[in-house]
Every structure is written in structure tokens, then in C-alpha cells.
């Protein structure tokens, strides 16, 4: 009889421990959700999970599978607690044991424009194809497969393209663009692959160092099956670089598409480096868009970049960061942590309104050390070889400067595509 009481006591103790743990998880996740909501960061930027609370029983498998820690458990149910961190790779969907998750675009408040494309990834404008992130699919495996299938469709419609520069012009060098370039070589198409930046990899290139990219095995023409599942950013980028080297894939870096002009069923693609005639255009760029520029004298110089990749390369320099979002704050904080680096963060508004509280705190800590100077209500007027001109409170001052990093967001090509007739559908929380 005494054994029954002992077993009962052990069971009750285990239940108490479980309940205590669940309360702690609930409290932490609720605090993070509240913080994100107050900071205006509770609207996901792209593809994201929606949880069916009737099905969900709070196993936490989805939260455990998410490297970005975008999901948490509140009141025994899964909740998107850090929507701005979600990048839509779908690991949560695969991990859910009861099919309580679906991936959708947009929300009731914030719609996302997705181009209408056929099963062959051709838009309503014949000859304009869209694959990968711009078409709403940022998953590495699916983006690569879409690029491969789009080229397969393009090669069937080429016909006689005598006198044209290329059979296809591919815009963007992420997984979809790289895959379509390989397929172009495989099918002996005359292709032009352009990338507005000086690096390949698309969105993955902009991940923090050693971040895990989620994917699944996928096929590449000339290469075969790629058997990655969870892979570090650096490993994946090294893989792509090796693929380019082995296959001779030709990429024109720092070439930005500026317009597409339809002419009698063909196209003239104009870039900052030239213009090309082609039968088909395949758009495989990401949703980051073309970096928004300051439009000031000196911005065209090589000291100006639009992202921070490796803070260590700025050791001992004077760096200006421009912007007021999380990417700008995180860049400024990372730079200020480098030895002998002096940082100015310039933002045109009076306050940072949509940033994480953690970044606010870290910014204040770095500012207190004197290595980081925050200039609100300021505007960059000019960039020179050894200094920058910044206007604040109506007066302009010169500040020593070795490098400028602009984190002011990007401009999607939606207006450009709409101009030539490509139709978009605005998704408000739909698949």
C-alpha cells in the first residue's frame, strides 16, 4: 500500500515540474511577443506559419525546429512570437506532428504582392518568367527546382532567335538563378546571368555568420542531387562557389537591371552596363530588392556598401552607418565591438520606432562606451574620400570617415514589372 503513495507522489512531482516548466515557457514567450508587438515587429515580412489552435496541442516541436526562434508556446498553443525573424523556410511545418501549421503570404493588415505565374513559372506576359523568392518561394530547394523547371519551359519556346544576343537573360544569383544558369548550360542555351551585387547566394549571403540554412535534397543540372538538410551559411556558399568553378557558370556581378522593354514578342533588357536582346527573361531576384540609395554626391565611390558582411574588416576605421531599422542598429553595434573602430549611426527621424528592445539596449551600451555616436534627426549631404558631411539641427558638420554602410531597405521591381503588364495578386494571409 505504501508503494502506491510513493508512486503517486512521484507522478504528482513530475506533473508539478512539467507545469512549472510550462508556466516559465509561457511567461518568457509572452514577454517576447509583447515586446515584439510594442516595437511594431509582429508583422512577418514574407512566407510564414499560421497555427490552427484547434489542432495544436502544444508539443513545442515546431518551436524546437525553428533556428530563428520565431515560434513559442503560449497558453499551451504554438504562437508566432517573433514574426520579424521568420524567413519562411518551413521547418516548423515539417516538424508539426498533427498538421496544425500552414504557410501563408501576408496578413490581414499587411498584404504581399505575388506575381501570377503558370505551372511553368511564366507570367501573364509571354516570355517573362519568375522563379524563386520574388515569386513567393524563398525555400532553397523549391527555388532551385523552380529555376530548373523554368529553363526547361524556356528552351521549348525559343524557336528561331537569329539576331538576338541571348536565348534568356537571368536576373538574380540566388538558388533559383544559379540553378537556372546551370540548366542553361545543360540545354546549350545562350544565357546572360546578371547579379546587382558582387556576391552570389541571394538571401543566404546576407545571413549572420554561421547561421543554419534549412533545406532538403534537391537536383541541379550538371551536378546531380545535392544532399543538404541543415547547413551552415558558409558551407552552402562555398558549395555554390565550387559549383561555379567546376561548371564554368558565367555570372556578371555588379550589373543591375534597370528596365525591360517588350519589342514584337522579344525583349530588350537594359542594365547599368549595357542592353541585351533576348527571347525570354527569367527573374530570379530576391524580395530584398535594389538597395535604396541616399542619392548624395560621392555615393558611387567604392567606400559605400549596402550591407555589413564581416565587421572585422572595419577594425581601426571610422565608419558611418545610415538607417533606423534593426539591420542598421545591428551593423552599428557589431562595428562598435571591433577594436579601435569608431562608429556614427545616422538616422533621419527623431527615434527608432520599429526595432527590437534588445538592439536598443545594446546600442545604448555601445554609445555609453564612446565608440558609437548616434545622430538622430540627421541627414547625410555628401560623401568624400576622407570625411562625410552630415546635417543635423540645420547645420552641416564634417566627420572623419573611411567607410559608409547604408541600411535603408530595398526597392522591389514591382512597378517596373507592372509597367510591362505583369499582373500581381496581393495576398492577405493566404497560401
Q: Which of 111, 95, 92 has the alpha carbon at shortest distance from 103?
A: 92
37 in the same domain as 130 = no
Instruction: Name, of 25-29, 41-45, 159-163, 267-271, the range with top average pLDDT.
Output: 267-271
Q: What is the pLDDT of residue 209?
A: 65
Q: Provide the pLDDT for residue 388.
A: 96
User: Is residue 295 situated within a structural domain?
Assistant: no
First and final CA of the chain: distance in angstroms? Answer: 58
> How many angstroms from the chain centroid is the CA of residue 286?
7
The answer to whether residues 131 and 264 belong to one domain is yes
* DSSP classification of residue 430: B
Chain segment 50-73, per-residue pLDDT in tens: 889 899 988 888 888 887 788 888
Count of CB atoms within 10 A of residue 1's CB?
A: 4
- Tell whether 296 is covered by a domain: no
Q: Are residues 121 and 209 in the same domain?
A: yes
Burial class (CB in 10 A: 0-12, 13-18, 19+), 153: middle
Report the CATH number that the domain containing residue 310 is assigned in CATH: 3.50.50.60
Is residue 174 a part of any domain in this protein?
A: yes
314-333 core/surface letters (b: 16 or more CB in 10 A; e: else): beebbbbbbbbbbbbbbbbb
Q: Express each pLDDT in 333-352 by its tens digit.
A: 999 999 999 999 999 988 88
**Tens digit of pLDDT for each residue in 215-227?**
678 889 999 888 8
Among 69, 104, 139, give the residue marking a domain's end: 104
Q: What is the CATH number of the domain that holds 20?
A: 3.30.70.20
Same domain, 137 and 268: yes
Backbone angles phi and psi of 369, in degrees to 5: -75, -15
Indicate whether 293 belongs to any domain. no
> What residues make up the domain containing 347?
304-411
Give the domain-ending residue among 104, 128, 149.
104
- Looking at the fold, whether 50 and 137 belong to one and the same domain comes out as no
Q: What is the mean pLDDT of residues 169-180?
A: 92
Establish if 178 belongs to a structural domain.
Answer: yes
Provide the number of structural domains found in the chain: 3
Q: What are the tens digits of pLDDT across the range 6-34?
A: 777 778 877 887 777 778 877 887 777 77
Nearest CA-CA partner of 234 in 263, 262, 203, 213: 213
Mean pLDDT is lowest, of 53-62, 90-99, 104-113, 320-329, for 104-113
Instruction: Please give the C-alpha separations between residue 321 and each of 91, 304, 339, 402, in angstroms, as whole numbers.
Output: 33, 10, 17, 11
pTM of the full predicted structure? 0.72
51 part of a folded domain? yes
Q: Is 30 helix (H, G, I), strand (E, B) or coil?
A: helix
235 vs 177, which has greater pLDDT? 177
Residue 54 and residue 175 in one domain: no
Share of the chain above pLDDT 70, in %: 91
124/88 same-domain check: no
Q: Are residues 120 and 267 in the same domain?
A: yes
Q: Are 181 and 193 in contact (CB under 8 A)?
A: yes
φ, ψ (nearest 5 deg) of residue 406 = -100, 120
Q: Is the pLDDT reported for residue 234 higher than 70? A: yes
Single out the residue in 57, 74, 104 at which a domain terminates.
Answer: 104
Are 140 and 256 members of one domain? yes
Q: Is residue 8 located within the same domain as residue 49? A: yes
Residues 247 and 334 in one domain: no
Whether the CB-CB separation of 29 and 78 falls below 8 Å is answered with no
Residue 297 lies in a domain: no
What is the reported pLDDT for 315? Answer: 93
Asked if 8 and 91 sit in the same domain, the reply is yes
Amino acid at each position: 500500500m505504501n508503494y502506491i503513495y510513493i508512486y503517486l507522489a512521484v507522478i504528482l512531482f513530475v506533473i508539478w515540474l512539467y507545469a512549472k516548466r510550462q508556466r516559465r515557457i509561457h511567461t518568457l514567450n509572452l514577454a517576447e511577443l509583447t515586446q515584439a508587438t510594442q516595437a511594431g515587429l509582429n508583422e512577418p515580412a514574407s512566407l510564414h506559419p499560421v497555427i490552427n489552435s484547434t489542432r495544436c496541442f502544444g508539443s513545442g516541436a515546431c518551436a524546437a525546429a525553428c533556428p530563428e526562434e520565431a515560434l513559442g508556446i503560449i497558453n499551451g498553443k504554438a504562437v508566432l512570437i517573433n514574426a520579424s525573424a521568420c524567413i519562411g523556410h518551413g521547418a516548423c511545418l515539417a516538424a508539426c506532428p498533427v498538421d496544425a501549421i500552414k504557410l501563408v503570404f501576408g496578413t490581414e493588415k499587411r498584404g504581399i504582392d505575388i506575381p501570377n505565374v503558370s505551372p511553368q513559372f511564366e507570367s501573364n506576359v509571354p516570355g517573362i518568367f519568375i522563379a524563386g523568392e520574388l515569386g513567393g518561394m524563398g525555400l532553397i530547394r523549391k527555388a532551385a527546382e523552380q529555376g530548373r523547371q523554368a529553363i526547361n519551359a524556356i528552351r521549348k519556346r525559343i524557336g528561331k532567335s537569329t539576331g538576338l544576343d541571348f536565348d534568356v537573360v537571368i536576373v538574380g544569383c540566388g538558388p533559383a538563378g544559379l540553378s537556372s544558369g546551370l540548366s542553361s548550360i545543360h540545354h546549350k542555351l545562350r544565357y546572360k546571368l546578371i547579379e546587382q551585387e558582387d556576391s552570389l547566394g541571394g538571401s543566404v549571403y546576407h545571413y549572420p555568420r554561421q547561421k543554419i540554412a534549412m533545406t532538403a535534397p534537391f537536383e541541379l543540372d550538371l551536378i546531380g542531387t545535392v544532399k543538404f538538410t541543415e547547413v551552415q551559411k558558409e558551407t552552402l556558399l562555398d558549395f555554390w562557389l565550387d559549383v561555379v568553378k567546376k561548371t564554368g557558370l558565367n555570372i556578371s556581378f555588379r550589373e543591375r537591371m534597370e528596365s525591360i522593354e517588350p519589342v514584337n514578342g522579344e525583349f530588350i533588357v537594359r542594365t547599368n552596363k549595357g542592353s541585351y536582346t533576348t527571347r525570354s527573361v527569367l527573374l530570379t531576384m530576391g524580395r530584398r530588392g535594389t538597395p535604396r540609395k541616399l542619392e548624395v554626391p560621392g555615393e558611387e565611390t567604392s567606400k559605400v556598401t549596402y550591407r555589413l558582411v564581416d565587421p572585422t574588416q572595419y577594425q581601426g576605421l571610422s565608419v558611418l552607418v545610415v538607417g533606423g531599422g534593426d539591420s542598421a542598429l545591428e551593423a552599428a553595434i557589431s562595428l562598435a565591438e571591433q577594436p579601435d573602430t569608431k562608429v556614427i549611426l545616422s538616422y533621419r527621424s527623431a527615434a527608432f520606432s520599429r526595432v527590437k528592445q534588445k538592439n536598443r539596449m545594446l546600442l545604448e551600451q555601445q554609445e555609453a562606451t564612446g565608440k558609437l555616436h548616434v545622430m538622430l534627426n540627421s541627414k547625410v549631404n555628401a560623401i568624400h574620400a576622407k570625411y562625410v558631411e552630415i546635417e543635423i539641427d540645420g547645420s552641416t558638420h564634417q566627420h572623419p570617415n573611411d567607410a559608409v554602410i547604408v541600411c535603408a531597405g530595398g526597392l522591389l521591381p514591382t512597378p517596373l514589372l507592372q509597367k510591362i503588364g505583369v499582373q500581381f495578386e496581393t495576398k492577405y494571409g493566404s497560401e
